């Protein structure tokens, strides 16, 4: 895995300035690992744009039984949801998020 950053060390200051990727563009990112800075974040890298992003870890990720095109999850202890056009889109998104979070665990913690 090659990460091309202009020889910049990722510091807490840089980490705090990173934004989260849009949920519909998250598949374009490569998982670098996870970082703990007051909360657990997944560090992502986009090779096309050569940008870093961070994503909070999502917990209790599941499809809503009342609305099958809606995904329920917990982030920072707060319940939230994301609606999709179809049940299949919701299932694909859940699978993608689970894959990203599994890759972050495999890549391991980055100490900043």
Per-residue pLDDT band at 13 (split at 50, 70, 90) = confident
Average model confidence (pLDDT) across the chain: 86
12-107 belongs to CATH 2.30.29? yes
CA 74 to CA 19: how far, in whole Å? 19
Q: Which backbone phi and psi does 13 adopt, to 5 degrees?
A: -65, -45
- Record the tokens describing residue 17, joined without a space: 């300035």
What is the rounded average pLDDT of the residues 95-101?
A: 92
Domain boundaries, the chain: 12-107
What's the pTM value of the predicted model, to 2 decimals? 0.81
**Separation between Cα atoms, residue 74 and residue 59, nearest integer Å:** 5
Which residues lie across from 77 on neighbouring strands?
none
Strands 51-56 and 40-46: antiparallel
Cβ proximity of 43 and 26 under 8 Å: no
């Amino acid at each position: 895995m090659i990460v091309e950053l202009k020889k910049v060390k990722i510091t807490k200051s840089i980490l705090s300035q990173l934004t989260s990727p849009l949920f519909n563009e998250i598949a374009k990112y490569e998982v670098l690992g996870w970082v703990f800075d007051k909360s657990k974040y997944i560090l992502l890298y986009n090779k096309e744009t050569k940008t870093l992003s961070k994503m909070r870890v999502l917990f209790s990720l599941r499809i809503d039984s009342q609305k099958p095109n809606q995904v329920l999850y917990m982030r920072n202890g707060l319940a939230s949801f994301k609606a999709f056009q179809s049940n299949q889109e919701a299932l694909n998104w859940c699978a993608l998020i689970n894959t990203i979070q599994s890759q972050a665990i495999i890549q391991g913690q980055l100490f900043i």
